[in-house]
Structure 1
Amino acid sequence: MRGGLGLLSTVSPPPAPAPPPLLCFSRLRLRLHSLFYSDILKVKSRKSVWTVRTRAVTTMASDQENVGHVKQQLAKLFETSLRATVPEELDVEPLVAACTAKFGDYQCNNAMSLWPRIKGKKTEFRGPPAVGQALMKNLPSSEMVEACSVAGPGFVNVTLSKNWIAKIIQKMLIDGIETWAPRLSIQRVVVDFSSPNIAKEMHVGHLRSTIIGDTLARMLEFSNVEVLRRNHVGDWGTQFGMLIEFLFEKFPDWESASGTAIGDLQAFYKASKQKFDEDPVFKERAQKAVVRLQGGEPRYRSAWAQICDISRREFDGVYQRLEVSLEEKGESFYNPYIPGVLEKLSNLGLVEESEGARVIFVEGYERPVIVVKKDGGYNYASTDLAALWYRLNIEKAEWIIYVTDVGQSEHFQMFFKAAKRAGWLPDDDKAYPRASHVGFGLVLGEDGKRFRTRSTEVVRLADLLDEAKARSKAALVERGKDKEWSEEELDKIAKAVGYGAVKYADLKNNRTTNYTFNFDQMLNDKGNTAVYLLYAHARICSIIRKSGKDIEELKKTGSIALNHPDERALGLHLLQFAETVEEACTNLLPNVLCEYLYNLSENFTKFYSNCQVVGSAEETSRLLLCEATAIVMRKCFHLLGIVPVHKL
């Protein structure tokens, strides 16, 4: 899990730890951080550096029009209508939303909220329905709108032109799915996710943070945002004194063993912890070792680096299997900044003495944020404040997103309030720069308790992935699929399906809730599962292959017509891709994209059941619609971190 315990302090600020071999930043650069961090902290406070912005996440410049974003295009039309209908109400923004098919495709819902504001001022209106009628009348003509109507208390219903829908889909086939990407108004975001503790194996508890964080990063990157993927590992705490002394005791020649002395790091950790708990003399040595490590003694730093390196290699193996990329900046990276950051907070009058500790009081909580413990050591909050300061001032991030379990919600609420008191973050949670905690629930076993092995041990993430792949492979063999592929192909497909099933089973749930881990359910080829969706995509690819047509040539010479109701329904759903990704990004909810993907598959199934493709008079059009569906599905899979399968 993210973060670790604090460490003992010395009189002078600790130097920056020597960087482990696999850190992405060079030794020289990290050394410069150590030498100059106190000078860097002289930068003006965030309050003076940043101009607070309250713009919406999705505001775009007019020259960045996204023709694949239906809601955005309609909003522009209704903005013109609003200016013509109520020119004096300049702060009114269009309220456009998709609606159920019996009313239309989209709806403008401004009339009801406008009515109280203009009642008595605009005598030509006698109620919300009249406002709705005026909004419809003042709507500019557009090729995208086929029909409009007003219903109930002024809802303006819009039916899109099927020809326009077809045109936009066809344009995407030529120009690429990237032309449908949302364009967010922010440039740089930090996503802090995964963050295991050094010397401990990654287990199922790290699964959610890793794949939720990766999906959020992928969606933001697709939306033209620079994402700094940060792995805030617990690599600097009291446990390292214990581990280092145990290493010295058990392996006197550890330095000449090239990192092979420790072997199984998890077993090594358990043995050292047992000795720490049972041997007072060893415990005292371990506590002194922390001070020596912090003081920069080369032998202790070297042992620390070796332990970190072994742990990091194990982490990297899991990340490679999940196809997740991260840049490590652990607790040790921010440790040199803590004294200067606390000094700045003290100069602002925010840090107070309380029962021997140094704390920051925040509104709404009796218990303060402890930034220096009674023994003079730093803690989780100290590191997080230093990391936030660095991310805002040095990395210039506009949005910092922390992906951890919901159990840490209170910590982040208090931590964010402390940052607001310092002027680093605006009071308005919708303004920028912004910090958000993306909390998630527990992974449960079928007994309704925290997911564990039969021996009550936590489930190793590597073991879980092994089992997912093995079960997937067994299912493919049982269906006779192994006869169609080489052993290498079978292994590759089993991996894609197995890992994809694990990811999707997690991501399809609202992240704030607990979910039950069940291999049988997640590997089912029916229902809302990755297996079903991967099969649906493979079936589309098969339809195109069996047609014998060159789909790339058809994109250049063919055209799409949406004359059948199921063709139109599928086309409309395809066009809602951009706004779905935008919603998932804005609300930090990957399950929104999962729901869209599942509904897309359902829409395609209905279309294919009722509309003959190969051999029909509409073959070219329908093959292009199949291709468009496959392209959007593949992009959804990519954003969810799932590898698509083209043949099953």
Structure 2
Amino acid sequence: MSVWFNPSHAIDQILRQVASETEGFNADFEPGVRPADPKFGDYQANGVLGFAKRNKANPRELGQKLIEAAQASGQFDPELVELSLAGPGFINFKLSPKFIWDWQLAFSTKADYQSGAKELKNGRKVIIDYPSANTAKQAHIGHLRPMVIGQAISRLLDFCGADLVRDNHIGDWGTNFGTLIMKIKRDGIDLSNLGDNALVTLDQLYKDGSALETEQPELRDVSRNELVLLQNGDAENTAIWEQIVEISKVAFDKLFAQMGVEVDITLGESFYRDKVNRIYDELTEIGLAEESDGALVVWHDEVKKFARNNERPYPFNIRKSDGASNYASTDLATVLYRVEEFKAEEIIYLTDARQQDHFQQLFLTTEKWFKAKGYPLPEMSHVFWGTILGSDKKPFKTKSGESIKLQELLDEARSRAYDVVSEKNPDLPEDERRAIAESVGVGAMKYADLSSNRTQDYVFSWDRLLSFEGNTAPYLLYAVARINSIFRKVGVDPEATIEGASPLETEAEMGLARKLMGFVTALELTINDLRPHFLCTYLYELTSAYSTFYNADKVMVDDAAVKARRLILCARTRTVLKTGLELLGIQPLERM
């Protein structure tokens, strides 16, 4: 056997093959391989128990039979992997120190890791709906999460072999445009002369227009009419709309550059305005959509809160009573376009938790519609998140109650990080301190967001996120910089091949080497659940394992073979930490 990049997958595949040729097993057998409790081994297969129960067999007998067949297959070298039976039928796999060391030698670069990780998505066509900003509005702290989480998931998908398209599905065709156009025309605003802060002005115009509608309710009909005119192609309203979209694009491109947000295509809601009639026709034709009070709606009677006989019915409204399209219309048209144009096998949506009902109905409607029409149904996922809270455990806002603007937050992050860096390294040239502050400040904001389980709220704290202790970006970035300093001292390139190393010996070396192999599992967990905090937790644990190793085993020893071995472990830790941080959208530093 060769050294497997992903032992869990390799063991799973071998067990499936062996079981298919072993009496007592059939095609329903799932090995169920996963990381094991270290007391028992490195991996454990627990699928025999469930299979035996379903087939009224003795799990220990089946487990032993599978072990003997696996060993007889010749695919498990006894010098590298030890198999044993435990409990009511668990199969444990213990990797030898030789396997673990050979793994360190076989997989040494980011390219090696990516080559192995590509099997996780294996060319699967994935569309990710990100960052999907709304035009005519300034980005605020609420936009931090889609940008940061979306960026991390996108990079992970790409790294793990997906054929990825990042689609910035902007909100450029919604109800707010009616209000905004009403206000612009009412005040005679010249959009070509708004200056450098044009988006700020547009944002305020919308707020003023909304306030006017509250004071004068009759203006709401005016705004609705302006929206219908726009959607029907009115020349004046279309010209105003195009200016609004361009102003928004310029502002968001500037913000995306600072955040490291990457976009492949930008197809907003407006792109689908000539594609929604097909949606209305097809859903009506198959009996899925029906008229209700002038609107076109879809009911999902199998889900109580979406059922027509519920006391508070909540239908999926795909066309408004005035004939205008809405989010549901364009979202349905978008799914169809992505399947027909891009051959999407998987579509991932990113929004906050408040839109869970919308996406549940979107997915239900798509599934019924595609099944009726015979269209290939993609896997669809909704990646949602909780709220960013202040120290008072309420949504994080300014003292006046306004949402904090994202640009202001970025500027403050850089400023605070510069102060911390200057305090710790006052002798560094200012330009270097500024560069470090850029990576530390913006990286710390990203990491604080990503290291929390995305479905939960988290408290935003400058002191915590900029701390050089605990599970923070500065702590991880400093670990990389500290390893870089070791290689500078010995005059060795950490990316070069280090020759003459002896095999692993000490407990700390073995602990670090095993944790380095855990990068594979961390990637798999993260990509399967689309939860970046799994990767963050792993990187923090790896850094802790490295600290344990560094404190226990001196690297600069006289024995050349031992020194080479420990330098290899330092180099591998550096590579995994750098790769992991880059996947999270955080730029590692040469020194701090």
Question: TM-score, normalized by length of structure 2?
Answer: 0.91
Of the three residues 466, 489, 497, the one matched with 2:432 is: 489
| 1:246 matched residue in structure 2 | 183
Matched, 1:74 2:21: no
Q: Tell me which of 82, 86, 105 is aligned to 1:151.
A: 86
Alpha-carbon spacing, 1:616–1:322, altered in 2? closer, same or farther (3 Å): farther
Q: What is the CA–CA distance in structure 1 between the aligned matches of 2:373 and 2:482, rounded to whole Å?
A: 50
Select the residue among 179, 193, 217 that pairs with 2:130. Answer: 193
User: Which deviates further from its counterpart, 111-120 or 635-644?
Assistant: 111-120
| Deviation of the 1:615 alpha carbon | 2.5
Q: Give the Cα–Cα distance (whole angstroms) in 1 for the partners of residues 299 and 502 of structure 2.
A: 62
- Asked whether the 8 Å contact 2:138–2:203 carries over to 1, the reply is yes
Partner of 1:128: 59
User: Which residue of structure 1 lines up, in the alignment, with residue 260 of structure 2?
Assistant: 323
**Count of residues in Structure 1 that have an aligned counterpart in Structure 2:** 572
Query: CA contact under 8 A between 1:259 and 1:310: conserved in structure 2?
Result: no
Quickly say closer, same or farther: Cα 1:401–1:603, change in 2 above 3 A.
same
Distance 1:285 1:524 in 2: 53
Stretch of structure 1 that moved more, 629-638 or 148-157: 148-157
Determine helix, strand or coil for the equivalent of 2:426: helix
Contact 2:126 2:345 in 1 (8 A): yes
Secondary structure of 1:178's partner? Answer: helix
Contact 1:262 1:268 in 2 (8 A): no
**Amino acid of the residue matched to residue 602 of structure 1?**
S
- Cross-structure match for 1:100: 37
Please list, as runs of the form range in 1=range in 2, the aligned pairs for 1:469-618 lying within 5 A after superposition: 469-479=414-424, 481-484=425-428, 486-555=429-498, 557-559=499-501, 561-617=503-559, 618=562
In the alignment, which of 168, 178, 182 is matched to residue 103 of structure 2? 168
- Any idea what SS the aligned residue of 1:92 has? coil
Q: Secondary structure at the match of 1:190?
A: strand
Q: Which moved more, 1:145-154 or 1:304-313?
A: 145-154
2:288 is aligned with 1:350: yes
Structure 1 residue 145: Cα displacement: 3.2
Q: Does 1:376 align with 2:376?
A: no
Q: Is the 8 A contact 2:126 2:164 kept in 1?
A: yes
Which whole-Å CA distance do the structure 1 matches of 2:316 and 2:508 have between them?
57
**1:133 partner amino acid:** Q
CA 1:260 to 1:575, structure 2 compared with 1: closer, same or farther past 3 Å?
A: closer
The offset of 1:483, in angstroms, is 1.1
Structure 2 CA distance, aligned partners of 1:173 and 1:248? 62
**Equivalent residue letter for 1:597:** L
**CA-to-aligned-CA distance 1:400-452 (integer Å, 9 cap, x gap):** 1111111111111111111111125999xxx9621111111111111111111
| 1:110 and 2:47 matched | yes
User: Structure 1 residues 242 and 111, CA, compared in 2 at 3 Å: closer, same or farther?
Assistant: closer
Distance 2:468 2:418 in 1: 13
SS of the aligned residue for 1:229 comes to strand
1:139 paired with 2:52, answer no
SS in 1 for 2:350: strand
Give the distance between the partners of 1:72 and 1:154, measured in 2 at CA.
20
| Residue deviations 1:99-120 (CA, integer Å, cap 9, x gap) | 1211111111123113224436
Q: 1:295 to 1:464 in 2, by over 3 A?
A: same
CA distance in 2, matches of 1:356, 1:548: 76
1:309 aligns with 2:246: yes
Q: Which residues of structure 1 form unaligned runs of 5+?
A: 1-64, 121-126
Aligned 8 A contact 1:233 1:330 in 2: yes
Q: Greater CA deviation, 293-302 or 380-389? A: 293-302
CA RMSD of aligned residues (A): 2.5
**1:410 lines up with 2:357 in the alignment:** yes
Distance 1:575 1:520 in 2: 32
Question: What is the CA–CA distance in structure 1 between the aligned matches of 2:492 and 2:581, rounded to whole Å?
Answer: 25
User: Is the contact between residue 170 and residue 560 of structure 1 (CA under 8 Å) also seen in structure 2?
Assistant: no
The letter of the residue matching 1:129 is: R
The structure-2 alpha-carbon separation of the partners of 1:630 and 1:274, relative to structure 1 and needing over 3 Å to count, comes to same
- Name the amino acid aligned to 2:578: R
Picking from 208, 213, 220, the partner of 1:271 is 208
In 2: Cα distance, 1:347 partner to 1:425 partner? 10
- Indicate whether 1:450 and 2:395 are aligned: yes
* Letter in structure 2 aligned against 1:69: N
Shift in Å, 1:616? 4.4
Distance (Å, rounded) in 2 between the aligned partners of 1:460 and 1:275: 24
In the alignment, what sits opposite 2:113?
177
* Distance change (3 Å), C-alpha of 1:113 and 1:279: closer
**Alignment-derived partner of residue 398 in structure 1:** 345
SS in 2 for 1:594: helix
CA distance in 1, matches of 2:467, 2:277: 54
Cα distance change on mapping 1:151 and 1:455 into 2, 3 Å: same
Amino acid aligned to 1:150: L
Separation of aligned partners in 2, 1:453 and 1:256: 29
* Conserved 8 A contact 2:40-2:92: yes
AA in 2 matched with 1:169: Q
Is structure 2 residue 152 aligned with structure 1 residue 215? yes
Please state how far the C-alpha of 1:601 moved relative to its aligned partner: 0.8
SS at match of 1:576: helix
2:409 matched to which residue of 1? 464
CA distance in 2, matches of 1:423, 1:351: 14
| Secondary structure, counterpart of 2:381 in structure 1 | strand
1:338 paired to 2:276: yes
Instruction: Give 1:627 deviation, angstroms.
Output: 0.7
